[in-house]
């Protein structure tokens, strides 16, 4: 192989279409744009979703839904999660360490789902009224 014999791979280089170069070229006169209309003119294009002035579909349909930006920093655990922990004191650090909540969570709420039979001290977590009653009934405390 010499430098003067190097060529690009077959089919990798395609010549640009030369429009407006006579009737014999196959793309003369209207240059493949058809006749008249917005698409045939230079600069004639519109934004995505434009329907010729008619109210576009994305504006005709009703708005719905809401995504809270705080949701990823909040989490909840159940009473049966507290039951399964091998700790006497439960706080955010313990829950992250045991893998019950994600590490970037800042607020955790204990909800009244399941049962708890062992005494657990809950520190720095939000607790529902029913969950607080169940924890205190089992001999634990909420701070």
Q: Which residues of 117-141 are buried (b: 16+ CB within 10 A; e: fewer)?
A: eeebebeebebeeebbebbeebebe
Task: Give residue 117's pLDDT.
Answer: 92
0.75 exceeded by pTM: no
Maximum CA extent, the chain:
95
Alpha helices in 6-118 (DSSP H): 57-60, 79-84, 92-98
Backbone angle region of 92, left / alpha / beta, with phi > 0 → left and psi within -120 to 50 → alpha = alpha
| Strand locations in the chain (E) | 74-78, 89-90, 107-111, 121-122, 126-127, 141-142
pLDDT band at residue 13 using 50, 70 and 90 as cut-offs: very high
Asked whether residue 130 carries a pLDDT value surpassing 90, the answer given is yes
- Place 31 in a pLDDT band, splitting at 50, 70 and 90: very high
Query: Nearest-CA neighbor of 21 among 33, 29, 13?
Result: 29
Hunting for tokens 């529902």 — which residue is that? 128
Mean predicted confidence (pLDDT) in 29-36: 93
Mean pLDDT value of segment 78-89: 91
- Residue with structure tokens 């005494």? 119
- Rounded to the nearest 5°, which phi and psi values hold at 126? -80, 145
| CATH architecture of the domain covering 72-142 | Ribosomal Protein L15; Chain: K; domain 2 (3.100)
H helices within 48-122, ranges in order?
Answer: 57-60, 79-84, 92-98
| Per-residue confidence (pLDDT) for residue 1, from 0 to 100 | 80
Please determine, for residue 86, whether its predicted confidence score (pLDDT) is greater than 90: no
**DSSP conformational letter for 5:** G
Mean pLDDT, all residues of the chain: 93
At 15 the pLDDT is 92
């Amino acid at each position: 192989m010499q430098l003067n014999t190097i060529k690009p791979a077959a089919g990798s280089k395609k010549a640009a279409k030369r429009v407006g170069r006579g009737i014999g070229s196959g793309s003369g006169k209207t240059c493949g744009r058809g006749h008249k209309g917005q698409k045939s003119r230079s600069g004639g294009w519109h934004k995505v979703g434009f329907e010729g002035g008619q109210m576009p579909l994305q504006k005709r349909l009703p708005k719905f839904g809401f995504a809270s930006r705080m949701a990823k920093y909040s989490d909840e655990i159940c009473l049966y999660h507290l039951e399964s922990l091998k700790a006497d004191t439960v706080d955010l650090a313990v829950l992250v360490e045991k893998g019950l909540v994600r590490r970037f969570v800042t607020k955790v709420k204990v909800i009244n789902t399941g049962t708890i039979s062992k005494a657990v001290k809950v520190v720095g977590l939000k607790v529902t009224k029913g969950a607080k009653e169940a924890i205190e009934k089992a001999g634990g405390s909420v701070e």
